[in-house]
Amino acid sequence: MVRILFAGLFIGLVFSDPSPVQDYCVAVTDSETYIPCKNSSLVTIEDFMFYGLNATAEFNDAGQAIVSVNVNTFPGLRTQGVSLARADYKAGGVAVPHVHPRATEVVWVLEGTFLSGFIDSEDRVFSKVIQKGDVILIPRGLVHFHKNVGDVQGTILGFYNSENAGRSTFRDTIFGCELKEEVSEKDLGLRAEDISKVGGRKLNLCGKG
């Protein structure tokens, strides 16, 4: 019983943002020396404000435009265990299958009609067409996707229980890192030249340059 309780406690500590031990910790982003928190005497209301969710970002090749509000763009979120993102989609635009390794996601449709869903660890697909006002839960760490299946531009908001949920796509993970080609050959059943062709495509699917 003690081992079970210890294991549960360990998992809870490892797989969630730590609880804060102070009211707030505004991240310091302009220091060459790592200082976790801005001096509290210098903190102002502006440290707890973010401006920019009222505008659409630049669309990528998949027809998606993302404004991420995490600790990297909003230092006031440090230690608070939350973040969010606005994603706009052209008609037919998609969020390619991806995972957020550090957070559960709650998706709220602001405008439009989407086919959204996730794939669990038993390869079962859970998907549904959702519309304005609908909310869908994406469990932590599971592959998920969104596609605007309407005729006009759509918008969703994603809320995460982590200050930095992280984001990993299949293409970036397999073809965008230094994974040896012989490993990919065996796993994907592709020839080395095919892998090189896919890996060399300059598609901006993830909001990156």
Among 19-33, 36-50, 161-175, 176-190, the range with the most confident prediction by mean pLDDT is 36-50
- For residue 196, tell me if it sits in a domain: no
State the CATH number of the domain containing residue 90.
Answer: 2.60.120.10
- Domain residues for the domain of 109 are 2-166
- For residue 200, tell me if it sits in a domain: no
Lowest mean pLDDT among 102-116, 122-136, 171-185: 171-185
Which residue is associated with the tokens 């060459």? Answer: 32
SS3 72: coil
Residue numbering of the annotated binding site: 98, 100, 105, 144
Residue 197 has pLDDT above 50, yes or no: yes
Eight-class DSSP state of 22: S
pLDDT in tens, 14-71: 445 777 778 888 988 775 556 688 889 999 999 999 998 998 999 999 999 999 999 9
Residue numbering of the annotated binding site for oxalate: 100, 105
- For residue 173, tell me if it sits in a domain: no
Number of domains in the chain: 1
Eight-class DSSP state of 206: S
Q: When comparing pLDDT for 139 and 173, which is higher? A: 139
- For residue 121, tell me if it sits in a domain: yes
- For residue 49, tell me if it sits in a domain: yes
- Bridge partners of 24, per DSSP, are none
At 204 the pLDDT is 38
Indicate the pTM of the whole model. 0.73
Read off the amino acid at residue 154: G
Angle between helices 181-188 and 192-199 (to 10 degrees): 100
Residue numbering of the annotated binding site for Mn(2+): 98, 100, 105, 144
Whether the Cβ atoms of residue 64 and residue 35 lie closer than 8 Å to each other? no
- For residue 93, tell me if it sits in a domain: yes
At 169 the pLDDT is 76
